[in-house]
Amino acid sequence: MTKNKANEKIVANSTAEYFAKNLQQVGFSSPIKAVLTTVKEAMDNALDACEEHGILPNIRVDIKKLGLGSLKNTDRISIKVLDNGPGIEEKYVPMVFGQYLASSKFGQGRPSRGQQGIGISAATTWALQTSAIGAKVTTKRENERKALRCVVVTDLKKNEGILKDKEKINWENPHGTEVEFIIDGKIQMNGEGGLLTYLRGTILLNPHMTLTYHLTEMEPVTVERVIDEVPEIPKATPPHPHTMKLGEFLSYARLFSSHKNAEWLCKGFSRVSPNIAATLFKNSGLPKTLLDKKVNTLTSDQLKKLFQTIQDSEFQAPSTKSVMSLGEKALSLSVMRLGKVDYFSVVTRKPAICDFKPVQVEVAIARLFEKKSDGEDSSVQILRFANRVPLQFDKASCAIVKSISSVNWKSYSIKQTKGNLPSGPYIIAVSVVSPFLKFKNASKETIDATDELVTEIRKALMKAGQSLSRHIKKEAKTQELENKIKHIEKFGPVLVNTLCRILGASEAKKKKAEEGIEKILGRDNLKTRQQLDEVEERLNVHLASRKDQFDSFIKEDEELQARQEALLRAEEEILGTRYNDDETSSKKEFSRKKKSSKKNKSRL
């Protein structure tokens, strides 16, 4: 070893420094994703804050371009999100927006949108890196006369938030928080990373929210809430004893070091009663008197023995009261936002246990009414939701997509090549809610595909597929009857006329024979027609009740399409003018060279 290498120091980096160098892990891997992630994190925080305090959320999102960004091929963009939540106490403002892993919901066992305390701090870091401006925050609590306005930046070395330019101001809002990020990014409206796709999904999954959004040059849009009840967030549930590894178990014990062992086991874990705690100590070979001692009196070997006994013991499955359901209404709306639907099937599974964790799975499968020309060959549209948040990226490795691909859709009359997604004019929406939902990355874009979770999602998909299959078979039966009717209507009169001519039957008998054929045809087809009419009537009633929302989305899409066509026409005109100018200059140059050539010839 050389002298220089011997003198090298090992330096410990803070959590903030790590994430600042690896922002792609938390959703800032491209300019388009940076904009969407910033909006998503701010809205998640706003919705969680309102629901925690029983407030019906009123949220406003303003996004506008300020000019060219400092990064190549980006725009300088202002993203502002305002809510009517409870506001934030001043001492917590730097922790919320500037400190990584600072969260009031981390490890609480509740199905909240945000849990780790990473996303909004990463947005502040991205703003600092691309515009050298932190998060501009204005917040006010109900009992305060003036609002706090400040800029939050992150001290990466210490992983701390710092308040700058702090002042007290008069604010018209009685309570709430407004945060503004100025970042480099690119705005995309539709598609996988589209802002409209995300906002509409959030609207339809949160019927108790009123949302106003103003995106760049488009007109502001306000979508009013359709229900006046704040969803009841389930109470927190402790982890199940079988969900921890040895290292996690030892770290968990340190958190309860000042508590008695019996209290730790009963309150720190679900499904552990005082009798079960005593049995665990007995089977571990630990004296019963230790139950009344503090956790920090247990040695490392004693904790390891206790952990092994827990792994070898049987416990009741964890409670499923900590999960919540989206409901048929919200899922139906989230499906129908992408087009007109002629039939859909919604399934809400009973809460189940997957990997010793409570899970609620809901599925909706819909068939689009307006079938595209390539609809039979293109893959189905997939909508993924995790804890009521739309997932828009990295769908290939997601548990939801793997579950959909593993189902044999041919048995439900839907086209599919083996091992791939089904094809056709269908939409499949899947929602997974769990207080302990595992994601494959810190940006929460993909649900980890464990075998038990994939099986649970498959069961819901197959049940929804069965309902859709029954409808498709009814349609096939109706089509078959229609074809029979057409054949009989075509050849029936010929047959009647021929028989009447051979038998010499009168006109009265001929007319009676024709009426008999019509009666038979109507009786066979009546039952199937009634079934289809009932389904269509129910769907029309549902669509009529949501007509305003669908019309606003359609109008918005038409406005966006008109803007895009106008931009294309403008580009074509510019290119056409340049082409004409180039053509004119080329002709002039050719004429000049021709004249020059004639002059040279005359000189010779």
Question: How many structural domains are present in the chain?
Answer: 4
Across residues 67-91, what is the average pLDDT? 92
Question: Are both 148 and 59 inside the same structural domain?
Answer: yes
Comparing 560 with 447, the larger pLDDT belongs to 447
8 assigned to some structural domain: no
pLDDT band per the 50, 70, 90 thresholds, residue 597: low
**Least confident piece of the model among 46-60, 135-149, 220-234, 473-487:** 473-487
pLDDT band per the 50, 70, 90 thresholds, residue 170: very high
Q: Which of helix, strand or coil describes residue 41?
A: helix
pLDDT at 152: 93
**CATH number assigned to the domain comprising residue 76:** 3.30.565.10
pLDDT at 450: 86
pLDDT at 35: 92
**CATH number assigned to the domain comprising residue 445:** 3.30.230.10
pLDDT at 184: 93
- Express as a percent the part of the chain with pLDDT over 90: 17
Question: Are both 273 and 381 inside the same structural domain?
Answer: no
pLDDT over threshold 80, residue 122: yes
Cα 216–chain centre separation:
23
Across residues 163-190, what is the average pLDDT? 92
- Distance, in Å, from the CA atom of 127 to the CA atom of 69, rounded to the nearest integer, reads 11
Question: Are both 463 and 475 inside the same structural domain?
Answer: no
Across residues 400-424, what is the average pLDDT? 86
Give the amino acid at 369: F
592 assigned to some structural domain: no
Across residues 373-394, what is the average pLDDT? 75
pLDDT at 182: 94
229 assigned to some structural domain: no
Question: Are both 24 and 108 inside the same structural domain?
Answer: yes
CB distance 117 to 57 below 8 Å: no
pLDDT over threshold 80, residue 192: no
Rg (CA), the chain: 33
- Distance, in Å, from the CA atom of 205 to the CA atom of 528, rounded to the nearest integer, reads 35
Domain termination residue (choose one: 470, 500, 523): 470
pLDDT over threshold 70, residue 333: no
Comparing 169 with 576, the larger pLDDT belongs to 169
State residue 382 phi and psi, 5-degree precision.
-120, 130
Across residues 387-402, what is the average pLDDT? 85
pLDDT at 370: 61
Question: Are both 457 and 493 inside the same structural domain?
Answer: no
Q: What is the DSSP string of 422-479?
A: BBSSEEEEEEEE-TT--BSSTT--SB---HHHHHHHHHHHHHHHHHHHHHHHHHHHHH
Long-range CB contacts (< 8 A, 24+ apart) of 311-316? 311/242, 312/283, 313/241, 313/279, 313/280, 313/283, 315/240, 315/241, 315/242, 315/271, 315/272, 315/276, 316/271
6 assigned to some structural domain: no
pLDDT band per the 50, 70, 90 thresholds, residue 604: very low
Comparing 108 with 13, the larger pLDDT belongs to 13
Question: Are both 71 and 210 inside the same structural domain?
Answer: yes
Question: Are both 475 and 462 inside the same structural domain?
Answer: no
- Distance, in Å, from the CA atom of 40 to the CA atom of 138, rounded to the nearest integer, reads 19
Q: Which of helix, strand or coil describes residue 168?
A: strand
Q: At what angle do helices 119-131 and 31-52 cross, to 10 degrees?
A: 140
**CATH number assigned to the domain comprising residue 279:** 1.10.8.50
Give the amino acid at 584: T
**Least confident piece of the model among 13-27, 96-110, 245-259:** 96-110
pLDDT at 530: 66
pLDDT at 25: 76
527 assigned to some structural domain: yes
**Least confident piece of the model among 106-120, 249-263, 317-331:** 106-120
379 assigned to some structural domain: yes
pLDDT band per the 50, 70, 90 thresholds, residue 535: low
pLDDT at 603: 42
510 assigned to some structural domain: yes
Question: Are both 482 and 462 inside the same structural domain?
Answer: no
291 assigned to some structural domain: yes
Question: Are both 267 and 414 inside the same structural domain?
Answer: no
Tokens 């490795």, located at residue: 397
Question: Are both 190 and 42 inside the same structural domain?
Answer: yes
DSSP state of 323: -
Question: Are both 424 and 293 inside the same structural domain?
Answer: no
**Among 438, 412, 434, residue whose Cα is nearest residue 423:** 412
Question: Are both 136 and 175 inside the same structural domain?
Answer: yes
Sequence-distant (≥ 6) Cβ neighbours of residue 131 within 8 angstroms: 70, 76, 182, 183, 184
**Full-model pTM:** 0.70
pLDDT over threshold 80, residue 326: no
Residue 603, H or E segment: helix 547-603
Range of 22-31, 36-45, 116-125 with top mean pLDDT? 36-45
Comparing 331 with 394, the larger pLDDT belongs to 394
State residue 403 phi and psi, 5-degree precision.
-65, -45
- Rounded to the nearest integer, the mean pLDDT of the chain is 79
pLDDT over threshold 80, residue 399: yes
pLDDT band per the 50, 70, 90 thresholds, residue 374: very low
Domain containing residue 254:
241-312
Range of 18-22, 313-317, 335-339 with top mean pLDDT? 313-317
pLDDT over threshold 90, residue 180: yes
